[in-house]
């Protein structure tokens, strides 16, 4: 692999004293200036941990991800299609109401009532469909995410299947699970053009939960509190925030975000319902940093990996741009098939420049490819080649 052609990687310089310096390349976003406060609704997060794309899109820095088993809430990325509602909606969380349709006994229930139906905890990756978009060669609209639009999160709530059962079971002829968000629709705009409403295949309700806690605390407003639909293994757009309606439906939502947005199509082609929707995540991994032991000169090459909708089987690491591979070691316990797993390979690097890459494989036999084909909106990029890092040892 020609190192000079990989212009969209991150570049590291490891000095003889064991220090690491890094600089981001290939994207219009800039690191947040700690002297500038974050928007009010995310003021509780540390600005030093983020790259700010806009008030509604904050990317976690690659180095911050490190080898974290669980992403702390104050380090988790932000991606909102619409401005967050007023924090008035979390003043009395248990009073939040949600409409349930497409069942034997449709009706409205409160969050407090949902808590009496059942409870489960699931650990799963939350990842924006465009994570990795900055690594495509063609120009794409949307935030130029590198690897920081992802995190591993603990969600607690009621299983959707239990709610459906409690409401009389699924109505006949339904094929989709449809969630509608409670964001305020700007006056004068037709709701279907901007309202967040996503439909996923009905089978997804077997894993889905209506979550009210995130990482052991009440769901923050910035991440969808008081109630969020969580569909393990599915891209973030399907995990609808501020959930106001949950329905089993015969057809997909008619809204733009379902019909034409988040559709995978060739570059230059408009979106339409016949194209694949951004549903299930693919297998993926990336390097989050080299660490240097100044006494031995050995380097820890570490990162994170996910299997998508299947558990991980292995992660391999290359220090020569994919010419040879070595098995990495998983760090920490396995938190389930939808969670990511940190990994590490301890190796020695000779003086010079090396291309460090990782390649994940899940139990279904899917292996991360070297290259991922371009698409109009820059979705789903899991190519290990562009996610690699160049490291200079000197």
Residue 12 is predicted with a pLDDT of: 55
Contacts of 25 (CB under 8 A, 6+ apart): 7, 8, 9, 10, 11
Mean pLDDT on 253-281: 98
Nearest of 246, 243, 234 to residue 162 by alpha carbon: 246
pLDDT at 28: 39
Rounded mean pLDDT, 223-230: 98
The SS3 of residue 37 is: coil
- Residue 25 confidence (pLDDT): 31
pLDDT at 292 over 70: no
Q: How confident is residue 7, by pLDDT bands cut at 50, 70 and 90? A: very low
- Least confident range from 179-188, 226-235, 286-295: namely 286-295
Question: pLDDT (tens digit, 9 = 90+) per residue, 310-352?
Answer: 999 999 999 999 999 999 999 999 999 999 999 999 999 888 8
Is it the case that residue 6 has pLDDT exceeding 50?
no
Q: What is the pLDDT of residue 2?
A: 35
pLDDT at 31 over 70: no
CA dihedral of 375, 380, 384, 390, whole degrees rounded to 10: 80
- The tokens describing 307, both together, are 């299997």
Segment 98-102 mean pLDDT = 98
Paired residues of 323 in beta bridges: none
Render pLDDT for 305-317 as a digit per residue (tens, 0 to 9): 999 999 999 999 9
Domains assigned to the chain: 9-68+281-393 (2.60.40.650), 78-259 (3.90.420.10)
- State how far the Cα of 7 lies from the Cα of 76, in Å rounded to an integer: 27
pLDDT, averaged across the chain: 91
pLDDT value for 13: 55
Report the DSSP pairing between strands 120-127 and 107-110.
unpaired
Q: What is the pTM of this model?
A: 0.92
Q: What value, to the nearest 5°, has the Cα angle with vertex 179 and ends 73 and 95? A: 70
């Amino acid at each position: 692999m020609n190192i000079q052609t990989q212009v969209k990687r991150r570049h590291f310089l490891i000095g003889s004293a064991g220090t690491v310096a890094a600089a981001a390349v290939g994207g219009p976003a800039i690191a947040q200036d700690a002297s500038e406060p974050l928007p009010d609704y995310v003021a509780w997060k540390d600005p030093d941990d983020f790259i700010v794309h806009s008030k509604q899109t904050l990317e976690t820095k690659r180095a911050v991800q490190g080898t974290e088993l669980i992403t702390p809430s104050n380090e988790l990325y932000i991606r909102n299609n619409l401005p967050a509602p007023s924090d008035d909606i979390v003043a009395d969380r248990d009073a939040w109401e949600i409409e349930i349709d497409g069942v034997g006994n449709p009706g409205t229930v409160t969050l407090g009532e949902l808590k009496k139906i059942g409870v489960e905890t699931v650990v799963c990756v939350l990842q924006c469909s465009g994570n990795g978009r900055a690594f495509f060669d063609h120009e794409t609209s949307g935030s130029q995410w590198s690897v920081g639009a992802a995190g591993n999160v603990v969600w607690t709530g009621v299983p959707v299947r239990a709610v459906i059962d409690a409401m009389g079971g699924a109505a006949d002829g339904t094929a989709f699970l449809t969630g509608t968000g409670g964001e305020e629709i700007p006056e004068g705009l037709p709701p279907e053009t901007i309202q967040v409403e996503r439909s996923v295949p009905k089978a997804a309700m077997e894993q889905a939960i209506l979550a009210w806690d995130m990482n052991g605390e009440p769901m923050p407003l910035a991440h969808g509190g008081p109630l969020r639909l969580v569909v393990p293994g599915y891209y973030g757009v399907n995990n609808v925030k501020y959930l106001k309606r949950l329905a089993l439906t015969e057809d997909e939502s008619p809204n733009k975000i379902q019909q034409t947005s988040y559709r995978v199509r060739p570059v230059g082609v408009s979106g339409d319902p016949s194209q694949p929707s951004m549903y299930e995540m693919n297998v993926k991994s990336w390097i989050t940093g080299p660490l240097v032991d100044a006494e031995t000169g050995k380097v820890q090459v570490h990162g994170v990996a996910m299997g998508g909708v299947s558990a991980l089987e292995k992660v391999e690491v290359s220090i020569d741009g994919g010419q040879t591979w070595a098995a990495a070691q998983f760090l920490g316990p396995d938190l389930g098939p939808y969670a990511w797993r940190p990994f590490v390979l301890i190796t020695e690097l000779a003086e010079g420049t090396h291309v460090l890459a990782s390649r994940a494989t899940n139990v279904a036999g899917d292996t991360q490819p070297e290259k991922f084909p371009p698409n109009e909106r820059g979705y789903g990029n899991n190519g290990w080649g562009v996610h690699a890092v160049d490291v200079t040892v000197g």
